[in-house]
Every structure is written in C-alpha cells, then in structure tokens.
Amino acid sequence: MNYKAVIIGGSAGSFQVITRILHSLPPTFPLPVLLSLHRLKHIRSGFVEALSIKAGIPIVEPFDKEQIKPGKAYLAPANYHMYIELGNKIALSTEESVNHSRPSIDLSFITAAQVYREKLVGIILSGANRDGAYGLKKIKDLGGTVIVQDPAECQVKTMTEASLKLTKVDHIYSTQEIIKFLQNIKTTAL
Amino acid sequence: MIIRYEIGIVETRNVVKAILDTYGYDFRDYALTSFKRRLEQVIMNNGFKDADGLINRLTSNKDYFESFLHEITPETTEMFRDPSLWRTVRDEILPDLMKGGPTKPKLWVASFDSGEELYSLAIILKEAGFLSEVQLYASVISDKAIEKIKSGRIDAKELEVNDANYLRFIGKKNFSDYYYNENGQIVLDTSLVQGVNFVKLNTLYDNAPGGIKLILFRNQMIYYNQILQDKVLYQLSNSVVPGGYLSIGVKETLENTNSSNKFTVFNDLDKIYKKKTT
C-alpha cells in the first residue's frame, strides 16, 4: 500500500513515545505527520518546542487553512480541534469539546480518514481516556491501516484498550516496531 | 463512544443550495468539514431522518430557519479565552481608543458570538470605567442569538474555565462578582450588555457598521474557506477606521488574504492588527 499521510493520537503517557518516533524520522520522510495530542488547553507555547528538540522533521502548530506538506509534522494547537480539509489543508475549529477534549483525537482521525481514505496510517498511543477509539475505527472502515501501541508498553492503557475493543487493528506494535514501520513506509505523491 | 450520523458532500451542498434558494443566505463558502459536521449535529439534535428531512423542514418553516441559523453557529464556549489578548486590549488598546475626541468610540464584536466575547469585553470596559463611554456593537445572525445573549444564561460547566481564564487575565474583581446562580442556572450580570447595539447580519457581512475603532473577530474565519475569508475581511477592513484595531483568532492570520496589505501587525502573539492610516 502507498500512503499519503500518517496521523497519530496520544494522551497521558504518550509524550516520550512521540518524541522517540519524531526523533527516528529522517528529514527526507516522505509524508506529512498529523499529531492530535491531548494537552493543557491554556498553555499555548512550549509544547511544539519541546517536541522539536530531537525531532528529525520540522514540527509546526498550523494556522487555519495551512497547506499540508510532506516531511513536516502538524501538531493540533492548544484549545482547537484540528480537522483535515479537502484540498489537503488544515482546518481549525473551536466547537465544543468532544470526549472532554479539544483537540479531540476522534475529530482529527475522522476528518483525516474522509480525505485520505485507504492512503492513511492511523496510530493510537498511550492515553487515559477513550478519545481516538472511534476515529481509529473510521480510518479502518475507510480502508486505512491502523496501528495501536502495545498496551503492555503503555504508561496508561485506557486509550489503546478502548481502540482494540472497537476495531480489529492491523498491528499491535511496540514503539520500536512503530518506528520501523514508519521508516519503511511507501508513499504516493501528494 | 459516540456513534455519529454522517452526511456526504453532495448532501451538504444540497442543504446549502436549498437555504440560498429559499432565504438568500449564502453558506457556499463555509469551510466544508466543519459545516458538514454542524449539519450532522443539527440533523441529530432535531431527530431529522436525513439531510432531505432537514431541507424539507427548512424550506417549509421560516421560524425553523431562524432556529437553524442559531444552531448552525458554533458556541463561543469560553469567556476570556486567551487571557493575554484581553490584557493587551485593557492595557494597550483601550487607553489608545479613549484618547480621541468627544464622540464615543465604537467597539464591535463582529463574530457571531454566543455572548462570551461580548461579556468579556463589557467586563474589562466596566473595570476600566469606560463601559458607558463607548458604543458597543455585536453581530448576530438570528434574533435567537440576541435573546440568548440578553438572557445572560451560560452553561454551568463553563464556569470553571471562565473563572480560570479570568484569574489569568488578572481582573480587578472575582469572576463570581459577575454572575449569580439561579437554581443551578448561571446567569451573568445582564446590565453589562444593556447598551449594546445588536446588528443583524447575513453570512457575507455586506451591511456591516462603519467607523469602528476596535473589531473583535476571533475564531470565525476558521469556519470559512479562503474565498469567504477574503470577502468578509474586505467588509471588515472598510468598517474599521484608519489606526483602528482588528483582533482575530490566535491561529488565524491575515497573511494569504487580500486584506493583508491594509493592516500592520500590532501584536503577533494574539493576532491583533492595526489598520494603516494611508
């Protein structure tokens, strides 16, 4: 399968995993990486900087309607939902929280699934609530490839276990295996 | 888990067309993803069978259309969102606005706000002693929004975040001084918005008020595509006086819009622009 984008959702206990994944990506990584991570809603600065320290690719908190480009990571900004819009753009929203979360992983995943369909990889990492489980199912239903971090390795298992309960996933991977998968990923030109 | 009812792009466009044909309200250039999502929400909340059910009701019942306009507009959900913005308005912008002559400066909450932006602005004006020294305008898309804002009723679950934001804003009082609890219903001090001029606008803002010194238009452009962003910003740039201020959402930008050359950046962090004088 040739892919167009990778989307990753995580919450409590996912920061180190994300850091390791981003560190492992080469500057030539051929896909955009969309990051929908739960974060403190009133703290606008610091997070993207912390993630950037060791990352192999640039990370931005996109502006609304920013064009999505390969080899770049897009972190959902604090207190906004991050949607993927037709035309390969980011669309932000201040609509009410979903699963007590804004950004909501479900909303990012659902909208990414509708745009990229079978050409999307969805990954759920450690987390303390069920946000993301439904979105991961949408990705799978629309033909995408879905991966869940091995709950045995997760600091908090709620999110991965909820995802596994809802969806027959393609892979249950350790962080190291997720990294290996991404490093070997095949692409289609955007 | 949420099981969502979903509609497609074609159905979304059908609803948009029915509204345009029947009432002349133009939603064609609303951002597709969020507008579709809001239509799905409206269909679920009202128990319509599908998009056609919504269209039938919309086209046959004008009163329902008024409710629809209210429902389709996202709630603002937070008072004093981005406290640093409100501190900048209080500490840097208001003193500048109040320097002018004897006419009261006009301030306009231009977004279709559910009240949170307007009450926040009214509170900082009151604390600065300027509430009766300015003319406040607020945009609404439906009469229902006026009712809602004038009632002062906000969701109790928003209290915690409003209170936390007010603390970070570092106001003069306690947030609890601005509301009372009526059997579990939180009611804001409605005297704050007594003098507000409500301006009913359509989606294209083509009858916007003029001579404005401060426009708050935060987090509404995110619901537009770039065509509508350009159109509405053009109207707003005509509304604001030279040297006046335009505040947009912290993740919105005038860059890439055709109004960018009319403004200079006043505060990049909180996305406040100043209209050029020439």
pLDDT in tens, chain B (278 residues): 456 789 999 999 999 999 999 999 999 999 999 999 999 999 999 999 999 999 999 999 999 999 999 999 999 889 999 999 999 999 999 999 999 778 999 999 999 999 999 999 999 999 999 999 999 999 999 999 999 999 999 888 889 999 999 999 999 999 999 999 999 899 999 999 999 999 999 999 999 999 999 999 999 999 999 999 999 999 999 999 999 999 999 999 999 999 999 999 999 999 999 999 97
pLDDT tens column, A47-77: 999 999 999 999 999 999 999 999 999 999 9
Q: How far is B113 from chain A, CA to nearest CA, in Å?
A: 12
Domain of residue A118, residue span: 5-183
A77/B74 Cβ within 8 A: no
Decide: helix, strand or coil at residue A107.
helix
The per-residue DSSP string of B8-39 comes to: -HHHHHHHHHHHHHHH----TTB-HHHHHHHH
A110/B4 Cβ within 8 A: yes
Q: pLDDT band at residue A43, thresholds of 50, 70 and 90? A: confident
**What is the pLDDT at residue B155?**
84
**What is the pLDDT at residue A42?**
85
Domain assignment present for A117: yes
The per-residue DSSP string of chain B comes to: -PPPP---HHHHHHHHHHHHHHH----TTB-HHHHHHHHHHHHHHHT-SSHHHHHHHHHH-HHHHHHHHHHHSPP---TTSSHHHHHHIIIIIHHHHTTS-SSPPEEEE-S---SHHHHHHHHHHHHTT-GGGSEEEEEESSHHHHHHHHHTEE-GGGHHHHHHHHHHHT-SS-GGGGEEEETTEEEE-GGGGTT-EEEE--TT-TT---SEEEEEETTSGGGB-HHHHHHHHHHHHHHEEEEEEEEE-TT--STTSTTGGGEEEEETTTTEEEE---
Cβ B268 vs Cβ B277: under 8 Å:
no
The conformational region for residue B190 under phi > 0 = left, psi -120 to 50 = alpha, else beta, is: alpha
Is the predicted pLDDT of residue A16 greater than 70, yes or no? Answer: yes
Domain count, chain A: 1
**What is the pLDDT at residue B1?**
45
Cβ B237 vs Cβ B262: under 8 Å:
yes
pLDDT tens column, A91-149: 999 999 999 999 999 999 999 999 999 999 999 999 999 999 999 999 999 999 999 99
Domain assignment present for A188: no
Domain assignment present for A69: yes
Question: How many residues make up chain B in this entry?
Answer: 278
Please state the ipTM of this predicted complex. Answer: 0.94
- Domain B83-275 class, CATH top level: alpha beta
Q: How far is A16 from chain B, CA to nearest CA, in Å?
A: 26
Question: Pick from A61, A62, A91: which is nearest to B34 by CB?
Answer: A91
**Span A5-19, mean pLDDT?**
96
Q: How far apart are CA B117 and CA B216, in angstroms?
A: 8
B33/A111 Cβ within 8 A: yes
Domain assignment present for A139: yes
**What is the pLDDT at residue B77?**
85
Domain limits, chain B: 9-72, 83-275
- Could you tell me the CA-to-CA distances from B33 to A15, A78, A83, B111, B241 in Å, in that order? 28, 19, 7, 19, 34
Domain assignment present for A111: yes
CB of A60 within 8 Å of a chain B CB? The answer is no
Domain assignment present for A116: yes
> Rounded mean pLDDT of chain A?
95
Tell me the CATH number at A93.
Answer: 3.40.50.180
